Amino acid sequence: QLQLVESGGGLVQPGGSLRLSCAASGSTLDNYFIGWFRKAPGKEREGVSCISKSGRSTEYANSVTGRFTISRDMAKNTVYLQMNSLNFEDSGIYYCAGGPWAGTSLQDYEYDYWGQGTQVTVSS
């Protein structure tokens, strides 16, 4: 079974940057499309970004387009989420998830495997 572990979260000031990592074990990430989701208190879980099995296709939520970048490193079996120009609304627990289907999706029901999450807090 695919196992995913997120890392890289922490406390950052507005306008700052963080790089999240999603490391896979049990299988190789190129068998899955990978998504990043976030959950803030009092809000629904939101799809942030995703990347296809090949890495050729990506998708971003409108709220993060131009600020976040998702990428794959096949050699390291890891997916990254580079987050720039962070603001208070970006705070939350960020989850990495994998789905076995082709293409990309920001819908959480398309994903079968989930990590435990990493906390991102944007605060001055």
Q: Give me the residue label for tokens 């068998």.
A: 31
Q: Give me the residue label for tokens 């989850």.
A: 95
Counting Cα atoms < 13 Å in the Cβ hemisphere of 62 gives 0
**pLDDT the model gives residue 120:** 98
> Mean pLDDT in runs of 10 for the chain (124 residues)?
96 98 91 96 95 93 98 94 98 96 87 97 96
Determine the Cα–Cα distance for residues 25 and 67; give it in Å rounded to an integer: 28
State the chain's maximal CA–CA distance in angstroms: 40
* Rounded (5°) CA angle 61-62-67: 85
Determine the Cα–Cα distance for residues 8 and 16; give it in Å rounded to an integer: 14
Q: Give me the residue label for tokens 């940057």.
A: 17
**pLDDT the model gives residue 49:** 97
Instruction: Assign 124 to helix, strand or coil.
Output: coil
**pLDDT the model gives residue 106:** 93
